[in-house]
Structure 1
Amino acid sequence: MTLTVGPISAAEHLAFVRAQRWVSFLQTPAWAQVKTEWRSESLGWFDGEQLVGAGLVLHRPVPRLRSRTLAYLPEGPVIDWTGDVERWLDPLAAHLKAHGAFAVRLGPPVRTDTWSAAQVKEGFADPEVRRLTELPGQPDLVGVRLANVLRDAGWLPQNPEDGFGTGHPQFKFEVPLSGRTDDDVLGGMNQLWRRNIRKAAKEGVKVTVGDDVQAFHALYVHTAERDHFTPRPLRYFETMIAAMRAEDPERIRLYFAHHEDDLVAATMLVRVGTHACYAYGASSTAKREVRGSNACQWTMTRDALAAGCDVYDLRGITPTLDADDPHAGLIQFKVGTGGRAVRHVGEWDLPLRPALYRAFQLYMKQRA
């Protein structure tokens, strides 16, 4: 089968997304409206006249040379990653190069390894183990093969040691939902999580779904100040919610946990097909003992189950198992859900114009 790549409309792209079991929300047409600082386009793969794959491309221009771009497909494209990958990627690279890209960056939604919650817990208890990758995971042969194919074809891995870089995380934590009930998922959580969920209920914490973006953002900014990260502006979330709800009214939800009249936690859930994703969270410094964050997480998990989702995605973690590492608390919080840690193939670059690519890499290092 010979495939060709060409532009498709946002409507064609969305119809293709809706026909899939799941797609990353970063590969929906709506995401282009969120990332307004990038030029965007929807591309399709065609077998004759039939659309068989799709991808959202975000174009990042080179400073002072805006006709040349880094073409970025976050957590995409949506193609068949199990077979002859080069027949999908070669026409993509040729098309993008012909239209001014100096490099392609993509992040295949394909895993290479999985570790159970029990394995992660044992790793933390073993002083000889410092990283998740030092534990024997369950390999995914499709992902292992894909990494080798990309490397042999000249693609360059862009995966930092700590798991977080300028792109999207290679390591994530997720809770499998397929074929499970609320009781199954709750029973798989550790004792602390179950206790915190019960405590939130006993303390009278009420979780509701709402539309008060300003309240969400105010608590998110408070969280950023406490935890020392740079918050996104209110306009970002307003745009994100409006764009995604225009595609599907149930695509994105805000959850608010109140204790008495106080907002103690707020979270954002994004769902595309059978994939539910915890996108953002915030919590108050006061009243942390009422466990509003656990209450929000449990409500989102139950809603994902009720919607027929296969997985509840808690997003990024770092691979550290060193209890003294400042990132350790993140994975310890998520491992309490009883889910699994996963490593994906990660993000890869294909230089199309090597001199420009090297200049871009130097520019990015200077910015860092």
Structure 2
Amino acid sequence: MIALRPTDADDPVALREALARALDGGPALGFGMLDGAPERVPDGTAAVIATSGSSGIPKRVVLSGEALRSSAEATASRIGSGRWLLALPATYVAGLQVLVRSVVAGTEPAVLEGRFSAETFAQTTLSMLRTGEERLYTSLVPAQLATLLDAADSIPVRAALQAYRAILVGGQALPEPLRDRAGELGARLVRTYGSSETSGGCVYDGEPLDTVAVRSVDGELHIAGPMLADGYLGDEELTARSFTRDEHGIRWYRTGDLGLVEDGIVRVHGRADNVIVSGGINISLDRVERIVRRVPGLSGAVVVGVADERWGEASVIVAARGEALRRSESEQLAHARDAVAEELGRHARPARLILVDELDVLTSGKPDRESIRRAVSELR
């Protein structure tokens, strides 16, 4: 057993040094730890991450040094190695992996100071370029990318977007309009899929990294590889349900995501548990949301489920007023409903569109779906 050191990651430079020691068997680091965390954890543990809990109760994911290194090395093999910009909280796996990749590459990451903005992103990126480093990488969530694209009329912001060999975008589905806009500006995006349980992204642009295997079992995606977490701290039952071994002894993580693997390409359809039953028909809110986000003006929208007197449950679109709406609210809803009906059927059409000043988000930048859902429920 080794010591577990809780940390709030206020100082990324000191955190990188502590992480380097943790990867080599030193004290393990605890991120976003819940009350009652033990003082010691199993040998080999490098980090314990409390998941964001955007749609449920946070879990404490145990990651070994081997798992974190394996993930970083597989990423370098796919996209190359260089200097990284930390633009996400290091308390989340995507931010933590920026530091791990820096340790593995032997480079010092640049750190975005203060609240994320297009101006600070551009300033930090251009300062990195002035050092002569040409192999730049960063990791963002879609909301951050949207902020940069909205400010891309600025020459420094546009230059910063174009400076990176790869901008990893994950944490949630990447809306097609954002991807298209980024491509038109010359930004090199890589869509990532993964979780804390897989040490971060392990599928890039639909293709598993070289050391990763993905399969679909009864419609649920399972993942295998050296980057898998050891399990959940203090929850053997959940660990046993989520991590299983097949008849060949291969260990698989049950993601809880619905999807297919076709010709080696992973297609994620959404969370198995993010489903409502409306009029007796199961509807995936993730699939509805992906379609809604293709509608102009709704690229950052969130779709949540609420109780409905007639249908049992119904879906509601929640979007920020700041998005450019060229139609009235009723016309925008009609456009979204038509798009969903065309692809999924009339039964899946959202019931309402609610505009808010600002969407609630977690510190990771992901939408706080539970907070949004509760707010919508109180309005009805």
TM-score with structure 1 setting the length: 0.30
Q: Considering Cα pairs closer than 8 Å and 6+ residues apart, tell me whether 1 or 2 has the greater RCO.
A: 1
Instruction: Pick the structure with more helix per residue.
Output: 1
TM-score for both structures, normalised by structure 2 = 0.30
